[in-house]
Structure 1
Amino acid sequence: MPQDPRILVDASSFLYRAFHALPDLRAPDNLPTGAIYGVANMLRRLLKEHPSDEIIVIFDAPGGTFRDRLYPEYKAHRPAMPEELRVQVPLLHDWIRATGLPLVIEPDVEADDVIGTLAREAAPDQQVLIVTGDKDMAQLVNSRVRLIDTMKGIETDAAGVEERFGVPPERIADLLALIGDKVDNIPGVPGVGPKTAARWLTQYGDLDGVLAHAGDIGGKVGEALRASAHYLPLSRDLATIRCDLTLPVATYARRAADVVALRALAQRLGFQAWLRDLPAGDAGKVPEKRSSDIDRAAYRAITTAEALDVLLLALKAADVVALDTETTSLDPLHADLVGISCAWQAGGDYQAVYVPVGHRDAGPQLDRQTVLTALRPWLEDPQAAKLAQNAKYDWRVFWRHGIHPAGLARDTLLESYVLNSSHNGHDLDTLAERYLQHQNIRYEEVVGKGKSARNFADVPVAEALPYAAEDADVCLRVDALLWPRFASEPGLRRVLMEIEMPLVLVLARMEEAGVKIDRAQLEVLSTELSRDMADCEQKAFVLAGQSFNLNSPKQIQEILFDKMRLPVLKKTPGGQPSTNEDVLAQLAVHADLPRLILDYRGMAKLKNTYADALPQMINPDTGRVHTHFQQAVAATGRLSSNDPNLQNIPVRTEQGRRIRQAFVAEEGHWLLSADYSQIELRILAHLSGDARLLQAFAEGEDIHAVTAAEVFDLAPEDVDSAARRAAKAINFGLIYGQTPYGLAQQLGIDQAAARQYMDRYFERYLGVLEYMAQTRALAKKQGYVETLFGRRLYVPEIRSSNPARRTYAERAAINAPMQGTAADLIKMAMIAVDAWLQERPERGRMILQVHDELILEVPEAGLEAAKSALKARMEGVAELAVPLLVGLGIGKHWDEAHG
């Protein structure tokens, strides 16, 4: 009877693939876990599919190997392991050991050599499966050795190797020698690819045969082969996997899993779904996640009046219900309702349904209005607790259909964001991966991609059911994991329940309101920008001595660095001289052409992003532009907006102000702008407790003039506008962690003078210096910093061994409490102002929020009352050690109101 197969896992190759392939998964303490999850999940599947087989996991050992002695340049250009991957490796090793699988790490050789030896030493009648994605392993394949790529689901035997590479397994090392390997820095024949190399090997037998006939090969490729002949045998040695190591194979026995250790690791890493699967006692192997955990086959479509009545009873009886909508459009102003999903728990079991109401197929479904009429009392009941993922969208869809839902308890998008704003992505698919270790059905899998994509209304109900119901089901399950975490985090709970959740409907109302745009103004500006860009282009041609494409970084590189010989200040990741804005600004000191290119780019951005794009975004039904506010993007808590992005309209240029002048009030209304004055410096005074800052703000002094007097040793009456501007740069630069080099660049002075100014600043404001030192120390100790109201920003790289990353994290740690507190204040102000507006909707409406500014559109008759209410609510939203000060402005357009 043949033995069970020996399974050899090339874990090092999967480590990098998992790291780059999976979303940014994080543990509760912000430790990255994507690579751990990817490799461990692959091993879990192997254990399930091969419960009794011999499985050995092999990793590369740290440090060099015998190949480095053969060729010192071997792998010399391979970048160091990323810090976010490096910190995962020890925990992954711990996980593998806890499963009971043998973990092999042999010094002075590579994992490939260990795998080759273990494959060679297997019993004569034992099959060997090598789990890898590494092409080099193809040389090990024979009648009893196969390769399995579990990520791609591909199994390769000897015939498969020859089909893929054009040569049999025993010629793979020769092939690799001829084509070389850029990753491992193995030199090959320049210009020779796999097809040419395979043809030579087929014709001449092996590498030695190719070299013996090198004189018979003509053309440039023959010349290259002959020039490379002296090192190709070494390249073959480097590419050849050793199969003759002396290994303690008897120690590679599989043991029973350490369930206690696995449970502790699952808890530590935040693998909640795996934690639920692990038994409390002993187990011989890692259990695979139960297929019934998320059972799409259990989802039901509600297509009859009787089923709808039963659903209503279940919804009313549930403690909380996750709600989701399917529509015809991502824009809620145009989205027709196609279906509604609900999920809840009953008797400890998760239940999820989908109510189709707008599918175009012939399948059974209920009338949309019938369903909305039946659901209206429950939807609009403030006592009926509801969950959603990105509730702002779903609520606006219901508004469009005449329903005004109440009882929004929590939004999983915001729960995830508040728990860790540094995570990449808070969409439901990412949350399912991150918190449930579950992969949702992707939207594209249902509707298709590109030109062949169909509208969701054209998806048959049977296909829509599992996708739609899963969204509500996963939302409910994610909330069940995340909401309990807030019980022990009162600061985060306050941010979620008193700031982010109340803001959801405030932003929804602002998006619905939109802002009026003067199309004619923008058309005139677009024409002017086109003319000015053409003038700029002609001037650039004169300075360059030739015409060139000002939109082409490559041609700009050739002009600035090859022709004009300007200094290369920075390089792109591809090694080319950079022409980004910072570089051009520095080069503008030496030549006029970089300044012209910057001017051209600025005008092109205004024209393309605003002057031409905004008129196309005017809603034909409302005559207004409706931006989308994003709550869960910026790590510091700041709001952002898109379609269009209104946060980055330049205000220092005349043309930028012209864009704002196109944002106008409706007839009979005014735009009312309210802007927090020097908010981050006031927050710095509060957080640092610096006596001089507190005094200056308490007495209403000009803080920049005060700083100028302190830093430049001037009498207050001698501070002129230039000194004040320099002091302003210092005040704000220090908040953002500006270096002496950065300050010198901004002020046009040398670094020594900039450092002297900074030293003098900290001598005068000792409290600020102490605050920064304490904040850095606290961030390093706990891995995060907090705003005044409890918002948290994780800075894991503050412990990095990389000085650049560590310094960046330190700057972020100092800035985040100030910028984050400012974000909290403006959000709290928006909630307060919105409450005042909702008392009497005729008072006006809030239409924009940009940085520290709110813009209202109010009727002329209520302007004075609105000014008083807006100022009072913004200044009274919180009590700091210094007064909050709000500046007001009114105008018929945004620029006039802001100015």
Structure 2
Amino acid sequence: MADKQHLYLVDGSAYIFRAYHRLPPLTNPEGTPVGAVYGYTTILWKLADDLDKADGPTHLAVILDKSSHSFRNDLYDQYKANRPPPPEDLRPQFPLIRDATRAFSLPCIEEEGFEADDLIASYARAAQRQGWDVTIVSSDKDLMQLVGEENGARIDMLDTMKDARIYIPEVEEKFGVGPELVGDVLALMGDSVDNIPGIYGIGPKTATKLIAENGSLAAALDAASEMKTSKLKERLLEGRDMAMLSRQLVELKSDCELPVPLEDMKLSGIPAEPLADFLRLHGFNSLLKRLGAGTGSPSRTTNLNPAKAEHAGEAASASGNAQELPEWPAVDRSAYECVQTMERLEHWIARAFAAREVAVDTETSALDSMQADLVGISLALGPNDACYIPLAHGGSDMFAEKPEQVELEAALAALKPLLESDAVLKVGQNIKYDLTVLARHGITVAPIDDTMVMSFAMDAGRSEDGIGGGHGMDELAERHLGHTTMKFKDVCGAGKKAIPFGEVPLDKATEYAAEDADVTWRLHRIMRHRLPGEGATRIYQRVDRPLISVIAGMEREGIKVDRAALAKLSERFATEIARIEGEVHQLAGQEFTIGSPKQLGDILFDKLGYKGGRKGKSGQYSTDQAILEKLSGEGAEIADKVLEWRQLSKLKSTYTDALQAAIKPNTGRVHTSYSLVGAQTGRLSSTDPNLQNIPIRTEIGREIRKAFVPEEGNVLLAADYSQIELRLAAHMADVPALKEAFANGEDIHARTAQEMYGEVTRDTRAAAKTINFAILYGISRWGLAGRLKVEPDEAQAMIDRYFQRFPGIQRYIAETLESVRAKGYSETLFGRKTWFPRINSKNQAERQGSERAAINAPIQGTCADIIKRAMARMMPALAEAGLPNVRMLLQVHDELVFELPEGDVDAASKVIRAVMEGAAAPSVSISVPLGVEIGHGASWDAAH
């Protein structure tokens, strides 16, 4: 246990309502409502786990409101008068929530006549007087009055909704004044939630300005008489009494008697049995299994403050959270070393070899890894044990003075054995970028770990609820380390005054660059402890991690495009766009800017009088795709033309123009950038340029694909999984009819048409194809009606008939939704989790959107996992088959694109097919064959 005592005070009252609104109504075996109880229990459990993995408390208590009446109601009878009574189904849950707290063997403190905030204030001040640090687990603005430090004892807050620490800077950012003046600002502005009157007409900005300028509420009120005549002066003079009353109401009472002594809040672990009894009593079986007490005695003890791991590098146990991370010092940028001599560089390299693990980060002249110059490299071996190695610093002018630094080639020659050593793990944050930069200098970095990808493996989708967030370094550092990193603009500036990183003075460059490596090292220790405990080791180690270097290699390969062909297409599109524009203006009876939603909306709904126009908050009509398609279906020719104009304009700007600009002068090829964390389900996303949204089935899309060509003497080969989502659905939902059809090589859409309509015609097959895919995406009756152009009742009948013919699909959907509602996430066959924090939202649109995504996520995510496994195995398999000249260039949805000598096509096709068809094995056995279609030709289009 740490020498210094650290008390955590949990604002339990806030958790109750958060839990109530997050979950649907639930009842226990006795029929008592327990939705809020269940939610409160899971939130408290998550807090315990989070504190378990961070700088855990030595003492902890949960503080609750005893009743709705306090001494403030005696001061002002309208205090909180506007608050509605608790919902009927929440009232019987209040005592059960207290039982839940005690089931964790935690103090549950409440006192008649005082609010939870007053008890929190009293305990916080009492602990601070004894020299303890205090963290208040709440985001309540009233409690921000307590934040600060006295005699070395600090009070801060932890907002678990945002996973963010709140200290003096955060309070100042929110209120514009320090914590000691928060009460004065609140008194002036009032609070409609608690019905604190304040002074009418004075909002947060004015209140902050007055208090900041005058130094206190009393001084601001006294200064009113000297102000020029104005409405504000009148309000201040007339509202003085209300402001002073409000100051009393917002003042936290910090001298309450303490019902439970501070010493009794000491944590020594949470016995599992009381918690198991509570979970059994209320039928919380999923939580009971999580505790490990499903059928008998608990198998583990939850400990909020376990013993610290003796060594920083000690591996996490199978339980994932059985060990606490070491106590790290705060980030200290002054501790970093700027390595300017070969002697010091060799010293760091020797230490990294001995440590067997090093965090690595590169600094470059630009964001484009294919063209950026290497400016420096940073290394980290532990907290604050980091360095920066400048390699190309100094002004760009040939006469500019260069600082002392190791010569680039000499430094890279010295680093190469370390970065390529199998005995040393290299850790990066988005290390794919660094792999490409260093590969261009002849260094193949391996083995690797990536903290960004690790975070994604555990937290994909959590950001919607504020529990998780993005996976960039800044977000991860804030979330997991409570640390705000230096920003690039802090050292290089922004806008026209920005300078290249190579011109940043070495002291600032060292602070910025070495911090990146230091933070990455720390994040890696946290992530690798979390992976096994959260069941993410398998997906990270077997699917995502092996792919990082593969993707980096594909990005470096790039693909050739025919600039002349693209230029001709751009010219053709420009002519077509101009023609369509003229036709639209003729139909409108006037010229206008077609790309302006406002002008287009006015033409469609005001001038031409089409029905169905909807104005948004901005006051202008919506003219999105759905609106235009609806008008088109009703016979509005102008809507057809606008849709055509939009498609051609997008294709021209996004592809035919952009692809020409994207050709790298040093390679003559286009190099897209793939993100391993861009799509929530695990699919790769493509940017700069995006090659995954080129239309597949349209003639225009085919024209664009014709511009993707091989080098002379080679061909392009495309290998595409055939109907993989339907195949996986047949397996995962266990649908015998569909499994049989795939096993026999039948046309699956024809089989569905036969099952549903009793005959196979062009129309029934087309409808069956639409239904097959739409239902896997959780489509509604109205959505299907729109796609098939039928009435909603008819669409519902089709859905019902589909479920009658394939009951396994309906069962799969129901079981998937039930599981996601209970756990908060879906899982692929390989264990990838996708979180859906709004799956139980009371907002119908949010809930239904999450439900649709949750139905498809296990299938689409499994598809992504399979093709990733195929990609990771592909190049070794081709090399083993004696095919070193086959290069994998692109991954687009379920398709892989290769460039190879024409004479290698037959041999390569066999290897590629075998790898793709067997990609799931041996981790997952699939009861439906994975079909792969392969073609080749002189362009990407010809390969289909």
Band of TM-score, shorter chain: 0.7 to 0.9
CA positional deviation for 1:183:
14
Residue 312 to residue 180, structure 1, CA distance change in 2 (3 Å): closer
The question of 1:421 aligning with 2:460 is answered yes
The question of 1:380 aligning with 2:420 is answered yes
The question of 1:342 aligning with 2:379 is answered yes
Residue aligning to 1:894: 940
Residue aligning to 1:758: 799
Residue 73 to residue 674, structure 1, CA distance change in 2 (3 Å): farther
The question of 1:431 aligning with 2:465 is answered no
- Over residues 334-392 of structure 1, what are the superposed CA-to-partner deviations in whole Å (9 max), with x where a residue is unaligned? 222222222224xxx76222222221164322111121122222222222222121221
Q: Name the CA distance, whole Å, in 2 between partners of 1:358 and 1:488.
A: 43
Residue aligning to 1:311: 348
- Equivalent of 1:820, from 841, 851, 861? 861
Q: Name the CA distance, whole Å, in 1 between partners of 2:224 and 2:629.
A: 53
Q: Name the CA distance, whole Å, in 2 between partners of 1:180 and 1:354.
A: 48
- Over residues 276-332 of structure 1, what are the superposed CA-to-partner deviations in whole Å (9 max), with x where a residue is unaligned? 99999xxxxxxxx98933232222122223222322221111131111111212212
Q: Name the CA distance, whole Å, in 2 between partners of 1:304 and 1:622.
A: 34
- Equivalent of 1:781, from 822, 843, 857? 822
Does 644-653 or 255-264 show the bigger shift? Answer: 255-264
The question of 1:724 aligning with 2:762 is answered no
TM-score by length of 2: 0.71
Q: Name the CA distance, whole Å, in 2 between partners of 1:384 and 1:527.
A: 53
Residue aligning to 1:222: none
- Equivalent of 1:251, from 256, 264, 275? 256
CA positional deviation for 1:531:
1.7
CA contact (8 A) 2:420 2:447 kept: no
Residue 857 to residue 291, structure 1, CA distance change in 2 (3 Å): closer
Residue 726 to residue 69, structure 1, CA distance change in 2 (3 Å): farther
- Equivalent of 1:860, from 902, 906, 910? 902
The question of 1:329 aligning with 2:366 is answered yes
Residue aligning to 2:915: 873
The code of the aligned residue for 2:592 comes to: F
Residue aligning to 1:126: none
Q: Name the CA distance, whole Å, in 2 between partners of 1:69 and 1:734.
A: 57
The question of 1:621 aligning with 2:666 is answered yes
Residue aligning to 2:872: 831
CA contact (8 A) 2:883 2:908 kept: no
The question of 1:523 aligning with 2:567 is answered yes
Residue 507 to residue 559, structure 1, CA distance change in 2 (3 Å): same
Residue 793 to residue 31, structure 1, CA distance change in 2 (3 Å): farther
Residue 59 to residue 372, structure 1, CA distance change in 2 (3 Å): farther
Q: How does 1:695-734 map to 2 (within 5 A)?
A: 695-712=740-757, 714-715=758-759, 719-734=760-775
User: 3-state DSSP class of the match of 1:790?
Assistant: coil
Q: Name the CA distance, whole Å, in 2 between partners of 1:626 and 1:688.
A: 39
CA positional deviation for 1:725:
0.9
Q: Name the CA distance, whole Å, in 1 between partners of 2:362 and 2:821.
A: 43
Q: Name the CA distance, whole Å, in 2 between partners of 1:398 and 1:180.
A: 54
CA contact (8 A) 1:204 1:210 kept: no
CA contact (8 A) 2:785 2:791 kept: yes
Residue aligning to 1:548: 592
- Over residues 534-554 of structure 1, what are the superposed CA-to-partner deviations in whole Å (9 max), with x where a residue is unaligned? 222222222222222111111
User: 3-state DSSP class of the match of 2:386?
Assistant: strand
CA positional deviation for 1:640:
0.6
- Equivalent of 1:477, from 499, 519, 522? 522
CA positional deviation for 1:204:
4.4
Q: Name the CA distance, whole Å, in 2 between partners of 1:771 and 1:469.
A: 49
Residue 646 to residue 155, structure 1, CA distance change in 2 (3 Å): closer
CA positional deviation for 1:583:
2.2
- Equivalent of 1:351, from 350, 373, 385? 385
Q: Name the CA distance, whole Å, in 2 between partners of 1:705 and 1:375.
A: 60
CA contact (8 A) 1:277 1:290 kept: no
CA positional deviation for 1:453:
1.4
CA contact (8 A) 2:451 2:520 kept: yes
The code of the aligned residue for 2:831 comes to: G
User: 3-state DSSP class of the match of 2:715?
Assistant: strand
Q: Name the CA distance, whole Å, in 1 between partners of 2:41 and 2:539.
A: 18
Q: Name the CA distance, whole Å, in 2 between partners of 1:614 and 1:258.
A: 68
- Over residues 847-868 of structure 1, what are the superposed CA-to-partner deviations in whole Å (9 max), with x where a residue is unaligned? 1110001110111121222222
The question of 1:390 aligning with 2:390 is answered no
Unaligned runs of 5+ in 1: 1-8, 16-28, 48-56, 77-89, 116-130, 139-146, 185-197, 213-231, 269-273, 281-288
- Equivalent of 1:564, from 605, 608, 615? 608
Q: How does 1:737-816 map to 2 (within 5 A)?
A: 737-816=778-857
CA contact (8 A) 1:676 1:852 kept: yes
CA RMSD of aligned residues (A): 5.5
Q: Name the CA distance, whole Å, in 2 between partners of 1:237 and 1:343.
A: 57
CA positional deviation for 1:431:
1.4
User: 3-state DSSP class of the match of 1:588?
Assistant: helix
Q: Name the CA distance, whole Å, in 1 between partners of 2:456 and 2:610.
A: 45
The code of the aligned residue for 1:813 comes to: A
Residue aligning to 1:440: 485
User: 3-state DSSP class of the match of 2:790?
Assistant: coil
User: 3-state DSSP class of the match of 1:354?
Assistant: strand
The code of the aligned residue for 2:866 comes to: L
CA contact (8 A) 2:197 2:243 kept: no
Q: Name the CA distance, whole Å, in 2 between partners of 1:470 and 1:242.
A: 44
- Over residues 117-137 of structure 1, what are the superposed CA-to-partner deviations in whole Å (9 max), with x where a residue is unaligned? xxxxxxxxxxxxxx99999x9
Does 298-307 or 316-325 show the bigger shift? Answer: 298-307
User: 3-state DSSP class of the match of 1:895?
Assistant: coil
Q: Name the CA distance, whole Å, in 2 between partners of 1:174 and 1:480.
A: 50
The question of 1:151 aligning with 2:171 is answered yes
Residue 174 to residue 859, structure 1, CA distance change in 2 (3 Å): same
User: 3-state DSSP class of the match of 2:422?
Assistant: coil
Q: How does 1:504-653 map to 2 (within 5 A)?
A: 504-568=548-612, 572=616, 574=618, 576-590=620-634, 591-653=636-698
TM-score by length of 1: 0.74
- Over residues 209-230 of structure 1, what are the superposed CA-to-partner deviations in whole Å (9 max), with x where a residue is unaligned? 7999xxxxxxxxxxxxxxxxxx
CA positional deviation for 1:595:
2.4
CA positional deviation for 1:802:
3.1
The code of the aligned residue for 1:548 comes to: F
CA contact (8 A) 1:102 1:252 kept: no
Q: Name the CA distance, whole Å, in 2 between partners of 1:292 and 1:540.
A: 66
Q: Name the CA distance, whole Å, in 1 between partners of 2:731 and 2:807.
A: 14
